[in-house]
């Protein structure tokens, strides 16, 4: 198992492999949890406001493609902080298709 930083819960901010063995076993057995994979790729997606979507017939746009989870998070945060486009509702991360 590849090590990664936990983004939630009791051990948020800790490296997975530094958590107690009982927590690792429990987390990996949860149906809702999917451990990050170095092969998995993610896109940063731009969600348009409803007014813009109605006018242009679009709801979202994939802005940055095929990133690792860490790079996608950085891009999303940069876009959320810097965008001046009043047509953009928010940015989010989604698995690449």
What pLDDT does 37 receive? 61
| Residues 1-28, mean pLDDT to the nearest whole number | 86
Q: Do 89 and 68 share a structural domain?
A: yes
Pair 48, 31 in one domain: no
* DSSP H helical ranges for 1-94: 21-28, 50-56, 69-82
Query: Does one domain contain both 27 and 50?
Result: no
Q: Please count the structural domains in the chain.
A: 2
> Tens digits of per-residue pLDDT, 27-64?
888 887 776 666 778 899 999 888 878 788 888 899 99
Confidence category of residue 20, pLDDT binned at 50, 70, 90: very high
Span 81-94, average pLDDT: 85
12's CB contacts (< 8 A; 6+ apart) are: 6
* Residue 75 pLDDT grade (very low, low, confident, very high; cuts 50, 70, 90): very high
Residues 25 and 58 in one domain: no
In 3-state terms, what secondary structure has residue 30?
coil
Question: Domain limits at 75?
Answer: 43-95
């Amino acid at each position: 198992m590849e090590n990664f930083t936990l983004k939630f819960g009791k051990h948020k901010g800790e490296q997975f492999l530094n958590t107690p063995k009982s927590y690792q076993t429990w987390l990996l057995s949860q149906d809702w949890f999917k451990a990050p994979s170095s092969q998995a790729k993610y896109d940063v997606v731009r969600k348009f406001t409803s007014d813009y979507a109605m006018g242009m017939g679009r709801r979202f746009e994939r802005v940055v493609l095929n990133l690792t989870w860490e790079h996608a998070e950085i891009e999303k945060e940069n876009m959320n902080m810097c965008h001046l486009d009043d047509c953009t509702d928010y940015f989010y991360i989604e698995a690449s298709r």
